[in-house]
Amino acid sequence: MCNNSLPEYAFIGRSNVGKSSLINLIINKKNLAKTSSYPGKTTSINNYLINNKCIIVDLPGYGYYRRSKLMKNNFLKIIKFYIRNTKNLICLFQLIDIRIPPQKKDLNFIKWLYKKKIFFCIIFTKIDKISNFVLNKNIFFYKKKIYKKYNYLNRFFKTSIKKKKYKINIINYINKLNFIFNKGN
């Protein structure tokens, strides 16, 4: 946890969904956040100071099964402690691989965020790996499933790391939230 007065934006999702890769894309530094083709590379909370304006936070992935049950539970405890106790967490971005149907771990995490009244947005990743038809169908299905259960979703984004698509939408949103945060302080 960073002890400062800057706004924080955290990125979370299942292991290997592309959190670190997306952070590198947004920050425009290829190897700042450590990436790997194998799940579970991020094992701690990593903070990146961006232009002395905000902090981007790379959280460990949840749901990686090659780790011990104790280690997985510790990751989840650390993640939830960070989310509940960081006073300047402005937005949590939950990344979801749009190629696969809604996973229980993702939906349970959304449920927990909803219950704790944590402001979050969803970023659908790996959009370049499916057709536009399937992409739109899957996004519709996710939104329907989330709305049906919680009648709540702040905002969603889609992105492609390989094609560097739509990163500007996320950057603009963070800039907008920074502006609102700074206006209030």
pLDDT of amino acid 3: 43
Place of tokens 């950057």: 171
Tell me if 178 is assigned to some domain.
yes
Tell me if 98 is assigned to some domain.
yes
Q: How far from 85 is each of 30, 47, 89, CA to CA, in Å? A: 30, 15, 9
Tell me if 28 is assigned to some domain.
yes
Tell me if 79 is assigned to some domain.
yes
pLDDT of amino acid 71: 66
For the stretch 163-178, pLDDT in tens is 887 999 999 999 999 9
Instruction: In whole angstroms, give the CA distance from residue 59 to residue 61.
Output: 6
Q: How far from 177 is each of 6, 35, 49, 90, 166, CA to CA, in Å? A: 12, 27, 16, 7, 17
How many domains are there within the chain?
1
Tell me if 2 is assigned to some domain.
no
Instruction: In whole angstroms, give the CA distance from residue 183 to residue 116.
Output: 25
pLDDT of amino acid 63: 66
pLDDT of amino acid 62: 78
Tell me if 172 is assigned to some domain.
yes
Tell me if 1 is assigned to some domain.
no
Which residue range forms the structural domain that includes residue 177? Answer: 8-184
Tell me if 3 is assigned to some domain.
no
Per residue of the chain (185 residues), what is the pLDDT tens digit? 444 789 999 999 988 888 888 999 998 887 766 655 555 555 678 899 999 999 999 998 876 555 566 666 777 888 889 999 999 999 999 999 999 988 888 888 888 898 898 999 999 999 999 999 999 999 998 888 887 777 666 689 999 988 887 999 999 999 999 999 988 77
CATH number at residue 136: 3.40.50.300
pLDDT of amino acid 92: 96
